[in-house]
Amino acid sequence: MLVHKDLECWITDAQTNIVPVRVCVRNDEDDEYVIRASVDIAENKPYIVYWKNIAETPLSAWCEVNITDPRSNGRSRRGAACEMDATRVTTQVRSSVGWVDEGNTLKTGKADQNDSLGRVSLEVRRVAGEIQVNCLEEMDINEIFFDFLDDPGEGMPPYVVFVFELRKISRRKPQAGQPSRGVPEPMKRKRVYTDTPPSGRLLRSRRKQTPLRRPERSDSDDSSSRQDSQPLDIETLLAENARLEDDLQNLAQEERDLRLVLEKRNQELKERKRAKVAFLSVMRQRIPTGPSSGPSSGSTSSHVR
């Protein structure tokens, strides 16, 4: 796991098994907002990027997962993107699951001659003010409007960038007491996502809830050495696991409550629409559709006041 500016970031396989960080480096040419790590992972296997805000103050930000293939000559492409909204506590823990761009997959390819599988990075840019989300139920997509605080249009750098250098996993047998780092077969998921237009308007599919497994926190500079040298404390792990289960249950309950509120609001809107249609129908029946027939020629008529 990498920790920088009160944000945590880590990678798991398709079954949310954590991929350990082996080497954490800070290059001289990198700016203060960039932090790098090296991880060992299998070829031709899917992976998931997770991140979380660990500060007491919630964060509003736009987050993009970018992929650089080993044979792309350094050119990167966006793999996934989503928002963190300070007004919604459930968005303070995010992952690439459910937000993958159409036509893209977070999956390792074939390693090059240097056993490199390329890299994956998470770029976080803070958002100023409110994030507006409009749900378009007919199209099963959302519209998102926001203004950047770290505006790339003005040449401003991101708030933080996590970079994971992906290395081909070693084929040597694991030592006694060490788990195998193999990755299970990928899960089949359908993704529908469109790019963000220059105006900042985003169309994307709705997110599907996926179980989250959060690793034990450690400092980014020496996380790999402590994980390899110190024995595991079972009681500490059990306590941490129980705490995480409670957090997940609370987040799930909050999400269910929000869904109920949204469903109630949608039902009220539908009832108002039906009432409006009925009212207009009644009004149309009361309004004459044409001139009334007058008396015949030569006949008399009387008027009552």
pLDDT mean over 108-118 = 89
pLDDT at 289: 56
Q: Which of 37-41, 55-59, 229-233 has the lowest mean pLDDT?
A: 229-233
Q: Tell me the whole-structure pTM to 2 decimals.
A: 0.56
Closest by Cα among 194, 85, 82 to 132: 85
8-state DSSP, 159: S
Residue partners of 222: CB distance under 8 A and separation at least 6: 24
- For residue 205, the SS3 value is strand
Closest by Cα among 78, 29, 115 to 204: 78
Q: Which two tokens stand for residue 16?
A: 């949310």
Q: Which of 48-52, 210-214, 247-251, 285-289 has the lowest mean pLDDT?
A: 210-214
pLDDT at 302: 44
Strands (E), the chain: 2-4, 7-13, 21-25, 34-41, 47-53, 61-68, 76-84, 93-95, 116-136, 141-148, 160-168, 202-205
| 297, HSE (Cβ side, Cα atoms, 13 Å) | 0
Tell me how many degrees the CA angle 196-198-202 measures, rounded to the nearest 5: 30
pLDDT at 208: 39
pLDDT mean over 98-123 = 87
pLDDT tens sequence across 121-177: 999 999 998 898 887 777 767 788 999 999 999 999 999 999 999 999 876 554 555
Tell me the CATH number for domain 2-170+182-211: 3.90.280
Alpha-carbon gap, residue 195 to 181, rounded angstroms: 34
CB atoms within 10 A of CB 106: 20
| 30, HSE (Cβ side, Cα atoms, 13 Å) | 14
pLDDT at 24: 74
pLDDT tens sequence across 192-208: 333 443 344 444 434 43
Closest by Cα among 209, 210, 228, 227 to 218: 227
Query: How far apart are the two ends of the chain, measured CA to CA in Å?
Result: 89
pLDDT at 171: 62
Tell me how many degrees the CA angle 221-22-218 measures, rounded to the nearest 5: 40
The domain segmentation of the chain, as residue ranges, is 2-170+182-211, 238-285
| 106, HSE (Cβ side, Cα atoms, 13 Å) | 32
pLDDT at 282: 79
Percent of the chain scored above 90 by pLDDT? 35
What are phi and psi for residue 145, nearest 5 degrees?
A: -125, 135
pLDDT at 250: 84
